[in-house]
Amino acid sequence: PISLLAISADATQAAAATGSTLKLLDLSGKDLGSWTLPANATAVCAMGRGVAAAATGKDIYACYPGQQPKLLTHRPSPVDALASVGDGNRLLCAAGNEVDLFAITATHPGIQFSFAVPARGRTLAIAASPDGRHAYLLHSAIGFCLYDLSDGRFLYQFAPPFSHYTTMLPGPDDHTVLLGGAGCALLDFSAPAVLARLQGPMGPPIAAAFTAPGEVLFIGAGGNARNEHFVRPALVPLDGDARAAVVAPQGPGSGIGAQFRSNAGKNNLVLYDLGTGQALRQIPISTPIAFEQHLTISSDGALVAFPTSAGVTIVDTHDGHLENIASPTTPVRAIGFSPDHRTLATTGPQAH
């Protein structure tokens, strides 16, 4: 089983580790390389350009196409997290109370500078802003911190409590970040301010996406959808229990969302407008649903698909039309649309 997975900042490649084996794939499924590390991987990073990085405890390796893993450095403490910076020529490493920035080019790999995290604890996540100027650090003891990546200078701290957040998604505008875990928080460090913090009646978040700079849609397992645009929150209650959800943003204040709900033992697929949070239509699903967490939506928001006991069901979001497609191998365990929305890939006992 895959133990670690990371996608490159440009969303073109994925690095996956199984024990001491590291593989790099492009998102069309092409195998870009495979490396055997000296020990089991404890952190991985897809750098882009066919390059991957991995940590095995205290050691960090750079993996270049057609070469053996190259030891980049040995850290005093076990590595907590790795992250690619900018165009993938630099690598952020968090280990203990120290963060290091490395050059990762094949000709001149090596450390550029280090800075200390002023607290004991563990780095839960680390990331870089899309423009490569800032480092975002989520730490168990001191919360969320912002650093300047030109010199490692500390810029700002959002104080705890942030210990229940474990993931971090940089926004598209270089000054917002979405934290996830046992709740969601949208931070703006140009203000600075916590724009939104969702917990309690929302239930654990099961889907979230940026719909525009500074705007994010949350869907909670408690059956609510919430659209946050800076300080303009709108909470839209949805009947029943939310069991799975996906979103396809189409720009500021627009897009399509889809959500499984159940009422009185009956399954329904609900389609709604991301900008208003209003339900567009509710579609009864009579076919038994298999692996409902693998509900998926095309990036243009036109089609929704999910596995069933007999194959796959595809729903046209414009008119609610359902089409059931039998699969040569069942059960279908996961599905995904191609970028051009014309092909649906499925996995089961065999991939198709």
Q: What is the pLDDT of residues 42-86, one digit of tens each?
A: 999 998 888 899 999 999 998 988 899 989 888 888 998 898 887
Distance of CA 85 to the CA centre of its chain: 16
User: Which H or E element spans position 141?
Assistant: none
Q: What is d(CA 114, CA 202) in angstroms, rounded to the nearest whole number?
A: 39
* Pairwise CA distance, residues 325 & 322, whole Å: 10
- Give percent of the chain with pLDDT exceeding 70: 71
Cα–Cα distance measured from residue 257 to residue 158, given in angstroms and rounded to the nearest whole number:
31
238 pLDDT band (50/70/90 cuts)?
very low
- The residues near 340 (Cβ < 8 Å, ≥ 6 apart) are none
* CA–CA dist 271, 274 (Å, integer): 10
Q: Are 271 and 281 in contact (CB under 8 A)?
A: yes
Highest mean pLDDT among 15-24, 87-96, 266-275, 342-351: 15-24
Share in percent of the chain as helix, strand, coil (round to 5): 0, 60, 40
Cis check: omega of the bond before 109, within 30 degrees of 0: no
| Higher per-residue pLDDT: 112 or 196 | 112
Rounded to two decimals, the pTM is: 0.57
- Residues 6+ away with beta carbon under 8 Å from 318: 302
Residue 250 pLDDT greater than 80, yes or no = no
Q: Is the peptide bond before 69 cis (omega within 30 degrees of 0)?
A: no
How far apart, in whole angstroms, are the C-alpha atoms of residue 124 and residue 171?
Answer: 18
Tokens 């409902």 sit on residue: 292
